Structure 1
Amino acid sequence: MIQSAVENVQVKGVSMTDFTTNIDMNVRMMNEKLRVDRNFDILQRDVLIGGKRTHFYFIDGFVQEETIEKLVQFFYSLKESDIKDIDTFLEVGMPYTEIEKNGHYDEVEKAFLSGQTVMIIDGFDECILIDCRTYPMRSVTEPYKDKVLRGSRDGFVETLVCNAALLRRRIRDSRFSMEMYTVGERSRTDVAVCYIDDKVDKKLLERIENLISSIEVEALTMNIESLAECMFKGKWINPFPKYKYSERPDTAAAALFDGNIVIMVDTSPAVMIIPTNVFDIIEEADDFNFSPMIGTYIRLSRFFFTLLTVFLTPVWLLLESNPQWVPEWLKFITISENITVPVILQLFILELAVDGLKLAAVNTPGMLSTPLSILAGIVVGEYAVESGWFNSESLLYMAVVTVGTYSQASFEMGYALKFIRIVNLILVQFFGRIGLLAGAIFAIVLVCFNRTISGKSYIYPVIPFNSQMFKRKILRVRLPHKIKNN
């Protein structure tokens, strides 16, 4: 029967990708394509409105049931003259505002699978899309990772519309734009590109839009990370991150005011900020939540810990291997006990142990986190030293390095510093002070020759040098402002 209907439509010269005025054919096409009989959450409701047969399609869990009930109750009061054609119906018989008419099946299917309600009326060759969807989401709370001592306590969630509202609340400017794209042949994931029109780099914006539009992928399996890998296909050997991720709306809004582009992906509680250099990644919201003096101290402390995480253990290993270089007043930094396991091996084991504890902490239920901490402190601390596996100095310096790593809000930057530190340890072990110098040069080269996604320097404003911007990136200066003269 479906085949005969298709043949009739083809004879009339109408494509099967379009709706027709025959409601039976439209309903059969929807039922067949959506596989209604094989999906328990796809619901269909048949009603009679103004003497015309009407079919509703909606996804259970994606629709505001109270809104649909009120709409259907209103539709029952319509007369036949109110729905003589689709334009009259939308003008007289549709009280809801977020609606759209569409006669192309592919577009209707895409809208339906994203949660919109489809309304098919007999005699209309276009259906009506009612956007009364709602998505399951958690409450807007402070992000687990990007916490602050003072400031806003709200954070992005997994729903794109809610995230857009959090940004719009902070940027009440008509020049602020959020353009929507769809990525993934099967997932059809919503991606929003946000920018302020008079501040953004138009060439970079055009490049980003072209990159997103040209992505051919089946699905964004890991949402924002999958999108990042599709956008940047360069060499992976440089560990320093190309993007800055944030779960804080205030951080994203500040980046937009600086002329950056913010990319939001549906189902991801983090947004991507581009372009990003090394100073942007190290920068945190707490720098601006305090006075300039305190903010400068916090920022400089973070810079210090960044360098400390890279060079503390390699320098200590070099001095431990060459105790004659250590002055008398610094003799306490060397190992005074017997060394049963080579120091370099101790450091490597501890590097791996720290990562193991991170993974264990992530996967440990909240009620067991305290026993895990006690176990880790006793086993990795006291018993590890008494057994002879580790010396107390190795544990101390690795603990300092770990604390310095946690001072970074960016996981990617923390692991980039970790990889540089491991390379330095290997070079120092085999080549001594020449290896330390080579490791430092290697780290500088990786940073200096890295490029942002816009192709600009990764260490701007150092290269090219911009004194005003350099001052702003190193120190916490007052934000530019003007006072109106009344």
Structure 2
Amino acid sequence: MSRQEKQQDNVPQKISSSLLENLVYLRKQFDGSMDFIIRQFNIEGTKAALITIDNLIDKQTIAESILNPIRRAELSHLNGMEKMKEIRDNILTTVDQEQMVEFDTLLTKLMSGFAMLAIDGCDFMLSIGVQSFAYRSISEPSNEVVQRGSRESFVEPYVINISMIRRRMKTPKLKFERMQIQSESKTDVCLCYLRDKVSPQILKQLKNNISKIKLETVMASGYIAPFIERRGLFNGVGVSERPDTVCGKISEGRIAIIVDGTPNVLIVPHLFIENFQTFDDYATRPFFATFTRWLKVFAFFLSIFLPGFYVASGTFHPEFLPQVLLTKVVQAQAETPFSLMIECIMIHIIYEILREAGLRVPKPLGHAVSIVGGLVIGEAAVQSGLVGPPTLMVIALTAISSYVVPSLYEQTAILRLIFIIIGGTLGFWGITLGFCAILISLCSESIYKIPFSAPLSPFNLKSMRDVAIRASWKILRKDVEKIQNMPGSNVKKK
């Protein structure tokens, strides 16, 4: 199909008063697709049709709430237009009804599970909500596992996710606003926010960014994330599969983006420090939550810098290692054919290959891959003299540490490899410069005019009660800080 023909197909066409013309146009659009169904019948001498997409509708609802009431009605004295208005206003008992006058909106509704009632002599169709389709039941979160809290996670249909949020926040100030991505898939996107908490400036900018998205298809929330965040190594858009987590973010003035067809909800704006905050932090005792939060920060830096520090110490700065440890590293290095940097890079890449294989293979084989990779290959590599035991231990420790903050795993995997190379070529000076480059990048970035590094930079002492420590709810409840009020924010106040 030529570009000109595609443009012609995309031009909205008005629905005709001729039933035959409308049906011919719709049949042409679907080109004999097996799930496209037209049920033609007569209403007191007037031709009519019910148009549906199979497997997206509830056939029992159609029979009981649409066809049976129409057949029992006395409409013989009315023309086509009058019959449609009488059916719409007085006969049908369904709640979700809408008048369709253009084919582009009609097709979108039709493929979303709505039934279309068409009557000869009427220049519009009636969209009737009869959706019913198979979807995965609500289950426990697979990634954001908590010890205390809800065991519910989002599912693929966005209408179910909306109900899960509404059930937790019973306030009329909670608003859901539907948008649609301009793509072949016509994917629905729902913005969720509290009207009295959200910043109008951030909301307007977000809507503008979403409206500019031009993609052929949108199959997941990850498709639109690059269009609504700033460029950088670290994510400026949060992701969650937990309704309670999303509700907590919304209460701080953030906006949740629910994409139809994906169980992960996007949250904007998202700050760097939020990667170290989990739902369990707010459901456990403050002293333990503070301990685990600092543990996550330590594990994050360990997963990035430990291999580079190990390579730099063994290559350029042996004086930084204890004598006993230095002796073991030197002995292991003498028995292996590669340098420390090559050893670490090689083990790091092998580990990433095994991790990727464990994710992609069927679940029954996943444990086998982990056992073979972790035990057999690791032991064989040491016994054969390809790598030393200290190197294997360092990479294993950093790999485990990287899972303590799963939302930053992608960044830690790349940074770890970069600092291994820097440590093996430039030593501690290179690692120091690399660390400063990361700090400068974090402190110079902003997301929707809010500093990405807030409230650490610019520093805000008041915010430390939920950053450096996790204060008691008796303290936190007094003043819930809105995201637009963060220090350094250029967002206009209401």
Task: With the length of structure 1 as denominator, give the TM-score of the two structures.
Answer: 0.89
Which one of the candidate residues 383, 398, 401 is aligned to 1:404?
Answer: 401
What are the superposed Cα offsets for residues 9-39 of structure 1, whole Å, 9 maximum, x if unpaired?
xxxxxx982223322222222222333xx20
Q: Partner residue of 1:334?
A: 329
Deviation at 1:429, TM superposition (A): 1.4
User: Whole-Å Cα distance in 2 between the matches of residues 154 and 277 of structure 1?
Assistant: 25
Q: Does 1:178 align with 2:176?
A: yes
Give the count of matched residue pairs. 459
The 3-state SS of whatever aligns with 2:190 is: strand
Whether 2:388 is the aligned partner of 1:395: answer: no
Alpha-carbon distance between aligned partners in 1 of 2:170 and 2:136, rounded to the nearest angstrom:
25
Residue deviations 1:134-183 (CA, integer Å, cap 9, x gap): 23311111122111122111111111101111111111111111111111
Q: Which residue of 2 aligns with 1:53?
A: 47
CA distance in 2, matches of 1:358, 1:402: 10
Give the secondary-structure state (helix, strand or coil) at the position aligned to 2:406: coil
How much does 1:121 deviate?
A: 1.6
Identical columns (%): 24
Corresponding residue for 1:88? 86
Cα distance in 2 between the residues matched to 1:75 and 1:167: 37
Find out whether 1:198 has 2:216 as its counterpart. Answer: no
Offset of residue 420 of structure 1: 2.1
Residue number among 354, 366, 379 corresponding to 1:382 in the alignment: 379
Mapped contact 1:335–1:391 kept (Cα < 8 A)? no
8 Å contact kept, 1:309–1:421: yes
Match of 1:41 in 2: 35
Residue equivalent to 2:421: 426
* TM-score (norm. length: structure 2): 0.88
Structure 2 CA distance for aligned equivalents of residues 422 and 219 of structure 1: 34
Residue 351 of structure 1 deviates from its aligned partner by 1.4
Q: 3-state SS of the aligned residue for 1:476?
A: coil
Contact 1:215–1:231 (Cα < 8 Å) also in 2: no
**1:436 lines up with 2:431 in the alignment:** yes
Q: Does 1:28 align with 2:18?
A: no
Q: Which amino acid aligns with 2:162?
A: A
1:354 corresponds to which residue?
A: 351
Structure 1 counterpart of 2:110, which letter?
A: F
**Which of 121, 124, 127 is the equivalent residue of 1:126?**
124
SS of 1:46's equivalent? strand
Q: 1:134-283 maps to which residues of 2 (within 5 A)? A: 134-220=132-218, 222-232=219-229, 235=231, 238-283=232-277
Give, as a single letter, the amino acid of the residue that structure 2 aligns with 1:387: S
Tell me, yes or no, if the aligned pair for 1:154 and 1:248 is still in contact at 8 Å: yes
Provide the rounded CA distance (Å) in 2 between the counterparts of 1:409 and 1:195. 26
The separation in 1 between residues aligned to 2:273 and 2:137, in whole angstroms, is: 32
Instruction: Tell me whether 196-205 or 336-345 shows the greater mean CA deviation.
Output: 336-345
**Equivalent residue number for residue 287 of structure 2:** 293
Between stretches 69-78 and 326-335, larger displacement belongs to 326-335
Contact 2:94 2:129 in 1 (8 A): no
Structure 1 position 476 matched with structure 2 position 474: no
Gaps in structure 1 of 5+ consecutive residues: 1-14
Give the C-alpha shift of residue 425 in structure 1: 1.9
Q: Which has the higher mean CA deviation after the structures are superposed, 82-91 or 68-77?
A: 82-91
CA-CA distance at 1:332 after TM superposition:
6.9
* Aligned counterpart for 1:75 among listed residues 70, 75, 90: 70
Q: Which residue of structure 2 lines up, in the alignment, with residue 5 of structure 1?
A: none
Q: Counterpart amino acid of 1:373?
A: S
Checking the alignment, whether the CA contact within 8 Å between 1:424 and 1:440 is kept in structure 2 is: no
Unaligned stretches of 5+ residues in structure 2: 1-10, 479-494
- In the alignment, is the contact (CA less than 8 A) between 1:62 and 1:115 conserved in 2? yes
Partners of 2:454 and 2:233 lie apart in 1 by 18
- Change in Cα spacing, 1:416 to 1:27, as seen in structure 2 (3 Å) is same
- Computed over aligned residues only, the root mean square deviation of the Cα atoms, in angstroms, reads 2.0
Residue 275 of structure 2 aligns to a residue whose secondary structure is helix
Instruction: Look up the SS of the partner of 1:194 in the other structure.
Output: strand
Deviation at 1:329, TM superposition (A): 6.4
Residue of structure 1 in register with 2:368 after alignment: 371
SS in 2 for 1:76: helix
1: CA distance, partners of 2:451 / 2:272: 10
Change (3 A) 1:20 1:329: same
Moved more, 48-57 or 105-114: 48-57
CA contact (8 A) 2:314 2:326 kept: no
TM-superposed deviation, 1:334: 3.3
> Offset of 1:294 from its aligned partner?
1.8
The 8 Å contact of residues 181 and 192 in structure 1, kept in 2 or not, is answered as yes
Per-residue CA deviations over 1:414-442 (Å, capped at 9, x if unaligned) read 12122222222222212222122112212
Secondary structure of residue in 2 paired with 1:418: helix
Tell me the amino acid that sits aligned with residue 389 of structure 1.
L
